[in-house]
Amino acid sequence: MAHLKSLYNWLFKTKLGFFSFVVVLFWIKTYLIYKTKFNLGVVGPMQEFLLLFNPIPAALLLIGIGLFFKGRKSYWIMVLIDFLLSLWLFSNILYYREFSDFLSMSIIKTSGSTSDNLGKSIVGITHATDFLCFLDVLIIIFLIAFKVFKIDVKRLKFRIPILIEVIAVSLLGLNLTMAQSDRSGLLTRTFDNNYIVKYLGMNAFAVYDGMKTAQTEAIMAKANHNDLKAVQNYIKKNYIAPNPAYYGVAKNKNVLVIHLESFQQFLIDYKYKGKEVTPNLNKLYHENDTISFDNFFNQVGQGKTSDAEMMIENSLFGLQSGSAMSSYGTSNTFQATPAILGQQAGYTSAVMHGGAGSFWNRDNAYKSFGYDYFMPLSYYSNKKGYYNGYGIKDKLFFDQSVKYIEHLPQPFYLKMITVTNHYPYDLDKEDTTIGKTKTGDQTVDGYIQTAHYLDEAIGELMDYLQKTGLEKNTLIMLYGDHYGISGNHHKASAELLDKTSFNDFDNLQFQRVPLMFHMPGLKGGINHTYGGEIDVRPTLFNLLGINDKNYIQFGHSLLAKNAPQIVAQRNGDFITPKYSRVDGSYFYTATGKKISHPNKATREQLASISNTVTSELSLSDRVITGDLLRFYTPQDFKPVKKKQYSYKESKALRKLKKEERKKKNSLYYQNGKKSTRDEFKTDAPELKR
């Protein structure tokens, strides 16, 4: 009893006892959160031990700061630090649930460019149990308030908090040593943030990411033209010529790029209760004059849609951390598709988007890309009921876009960004024409409803293009930007696909998204070539007859006869027709069977593919973080002058009108200077009120 009483007095009547209580509660809580709120892919006893161990050093180091103070201040500083660490955990739980990744400094720095409708998204992904993050803080405050803890006002001898900090740093070093022994090159070769967290902890990841961000900024400041040589040598060595049979078949045609938000390949031909979810896209997909790719993968990282746009416009990968478009879109030099088409073939370029212009820093990045016009939400009527989640509903968006489409001088390069099929997949009852699935997963069950709505909107747009004759002179490209159902929904995904199970390999294959090129007279069919978003620009240029040999790009035409068919994922995983890599393990792509004991030839093939993936990702990162394109200008390209672009509505529309009068080849002029707005028919209920 005497020992228990001594322990009680030490725990509740001394500052070190209080400190130990706070640290232990935080440690237990953090470990439980790791196990229940994240999918870290922990394998083996060493990883399990480090996951249990890694919260301790950071807790000792950070909460121990309070021991340097005296009186009540010391106690409340420890409580405040505990609260801030808990808030960081809570924020990462929400972010991870939606994006399967952790908050980075780049994301936090650019959060203003992605905050549209943030409140609604947070509410949609928050679970009641998430607030247990703060349970230990509430318990501690309660025990202080009811004087269970007696405040020890004496200042500790200085050597005691110093000793605790030294122990904490030593434990951090031990943690890193054990982690490096289990995963060689953890901090130098890792493309997946899950590894950093499961080996070193979330707070260590925050420090690592912050240092990496600062390092990246320093790299840009020091970069020079010599840094580009390794990139140019790699591009030259690995250049693959376009397919001559398709070269220039769409020369001088309009290009209409339709961005299918969060749209996955499995939706093509998918039926729910006997009803096609996407009948209009299914029809396009199977038409004789559509080239459809069924092994086309999204390759996005944390930047999601912005990464897809970066790849499609520039054939450069998004970054490992954050959004390249948000972080570098304003300041960097780019040689993007709209600028190339404008300079080489006289294209007018525009983006139409029923969402906020600042989202993903589009209003700045598009100027760097050389887009002549950008029509965001401010160009559209936004009455009550029009807006859904991240922008104007797709049917209303297409309907209102006609007044801009018909005035674009031809040929034009137009990208239209849809938004209705965006998480959290909410749709007003009056807009729904198909039922929800019943997997029991709220994130998943609304997905086919919003996808079906998007498909109906595509059908209405295609009808308009056919009625006005615009389809005959237009190459239509449709692509899905990234997954709609993340890797945190295995059970529901299995049910949707009528599978008995769904694992990480299945999820990698689930990253397929549609890519279609449609044009009357185009020799179409379903193409089984493996590729990704990095390959879209070279494929488009193949069809348009644009010479891209002198440009810095990491993709290859998917129509090329000897396309490499190595699809890199941003975390270092990959897919090829023969092999796939998932979280450090290798599989046969065709069967999903794990390669447990590869022979020498197989090991060499896997090593070669892995080296290609690592090289392309790292070299692309160098181009962006070092802004290396400022040191190189192809012979047939003039650097984009960002200041010459203005997306202010009144100024931009005056410029458009002037260009239209000058060229006299817009759809409006072709129609005898009569509007084609009446040719667009929609069943959008908002317009029938």
- Catalytic annotation, residues: 305
Q: What residues have CB less than 8 Å from 489, skipping those under 6 apart?
A: 441, 443, 444
Contact 423, 446 (CB under 8 A): no
**Token reading at 515:** 């890519």
DSSP H/E element including 638: none
Q: How many other C-beta atoms can be found within 10 angstroms of the C-beta atom of residue 45? A: 9
Burial bucket for residue 530 (CB in 10 Å: 0-12, 13-18, 19+): buried
Helix or strand holding residue 581 (H, E): strand 579-582
Spatial separation of the C-alpha atoms in residues 315 and 639, rounded to whole Å: 17
DSSP 410-440: SSEEEEEE--SS-TT----GGG--SPPP-SS
Phi, psi angle pair for 315, to nearest 5°: 55, 40
- Sorted by sequence, the CB contacts under 8 Å of residue 193 that are 6+ apart come out as 101, 102, 104, 205, 209, 321
- For tokens 């499609």, name the residue: 312
The span from the CA of 584 to the CA of 161, in Å, is 41
Q: What is the DSSP string of 454-484?
A: HHHHHHHHHHHHHHHTGGGGEEEEEEE-S-S
On the CB side of 213, how many CA atoms lie within 13 Å of its CA?
20
Q: Which long-range contacts (CB under 8 A, 24 or more apart) does 114-117 make?
A: 114/323, 114/326, 114/359, 114/360, 116/355, 116/356, 116/358, 116/359, 116/390, 117/389, 117/390
